[in-house]
Amino acid sequence: MAFNNMARRAMSTYSKVLTKTSINPNVLNAKYAVRGEIVLRSIEHAKALKSNHNLPFNSIVSCNIGNPQECGQKPLTFPRQVMSLLDYPELLKSPAVKDIFPTDVIERAGKYMDNISGGIGAYSHSKGVEVVRQEVASFLEKRDGFSADPEDIYLTDGASPGIQNTLNMIINGKQDGIMIPIPQYPLYSAAIALLGGTQVGYFLNEDGGTEIDRIELDRALKEAREVNNLNVKVMAVINPGNPSGQCLTYEDMEGILKFCHDEEIILLADEVYQENIWQSENPFYSFKKVLRTMEKEGKLPQGDVELFSYHSVSKGFLGECGRRGGYMEMVNIVSIIYIFGLLYDYTIKQKQTNNNYYKTYIYIE
């Protein structure tokens, strides 16, 4: 009987359904360089280094992605301790918890347990846990000096899913153009290709410190609309820049917002590197702060320019790339729009000087 079954399998005329020619061609067109062929080759070399090998080197330094903890950055004590109590809340009931964890850690974990129904392993609101969104809103108000509504904030599995979900909502087909900086973080080109849209590249001005030039924006937009007949819907800006590292001047940001208003283009502000600034000439300003200030000063009509902004716990002092956490804020977006939200809850509430762990907020060797 076993032999007959093997024979029947050997003579099968079954044709594989999922092949290179049958899958969505957008998947084949999407290229995500930071996870591409060079990275795969480095993984092969890393495996070889663990055994007998004849490679002319003995170690590999991964520079394809910003991954602070792999490069030696120590995880911060405070959030890790809070998360440990949330992962195993029975510890909060133990008399010994006060001997193990500082008071502010216990208080923070208790606050979350009181406000998160079912604990962090349960499904939450599609926008994310409300208490965390309230803390994000508080952070934004302190940063920008303008109010923030928790109902306009979505907690995301890092910044990338927020950007992908936004593009997924906006792109209807090949005729939809998305302006992205060149050079760019390849999430944008990959997501646009995967969703079937068209990339419209605008080049950063290297002679001007990789600034964004209005003349170049006009050129890219005119070519997209008049030559390629595209419906340009979105402009993505990475500030501080990735990989270029520049921080836009306040005047440049005003110009970008004016451009988006004049041309009726949605602005996507990727601001995940706002804590990673390595120069003192141009401080970081969020696009929301600049937009709200322009509206207040009468430089732009109130409520016109549509803005999506993104931040992440993967960068800055936290560097929690593997833990996954971030948020997206919508500004001047019509209320009918809803976007899929949370896969992970995390707080970005700033540490105060009277916290027990203020001195270890930034790890010092």
My answer on whether omega of the bond before 183 falls inside 30° of 0, hence cis, is yes
How many angstroms from the chain centroid is the CA of residue 40?
A: 23
Instruction: In whole angstroms, give the CA distance from residue 364 to residue 210.
Output: 32
Q: Which domains, ranges and CATH numbers included, belong to the chain?
A: 66-124 (1.10.287.1970), 130-344 (3.40.640.10)
- The span from the CA of 224 to the CA of 263, in Å, is 13
Tokens of 132: 């965390």
Pairing of strands 198-203, 176-182: parallel
**Counting Cβ atoms within 10 Å, is residue 159 exposed (0-12), middle (13-18) or buried (19+)?**
buried
Q: Using an 8 Å Cβ cutoff, are 234 and 181 in contact?
A: no
Asked if 199 contacts 178 with a C-beta cutoff of 8 angstroms, the reply is yes
pTM for this prediction? 0.82
Closest CA to 331 of 202, 160, 112, 153: 153
Name which of 321, 320, 312 is nearest 272 in CA terms. 312
326-331/307-312 β-pairing: antiparallel
Question: In a structure prediction context, what are the per-residue pLDDT tens digits for the chain, which is 365 residues long?
Answer: 565 666 555 678 888 888 888 888 877 777 766 666 787 888 888 888 888 888 898 888 877 777 888 888 888 999 999 999 999 999 999 999 999 999 999 999 999 999 999 999 988 998 999 999 999 999 999 999 999 999 999 999 989 999 999 999 999 999 999 999 998 888 899 999 999 999 999 999 887 667 888 999 999 999 999 999 999 999 999 999 888 888 999 999 999 999 999 999 999 999 999 998 888 888 999 999 999 999 999 999 999 999 999 999 988 778 888 888 999 999 999 865 544 333 333 333 333 444 544 444 333 33
DSSP conformation class of 208: G
Contacts of 70 (CB under 8 A, 6+ apart): 62
**CA–CA separation, 212 and 244 (whole Å):** 12
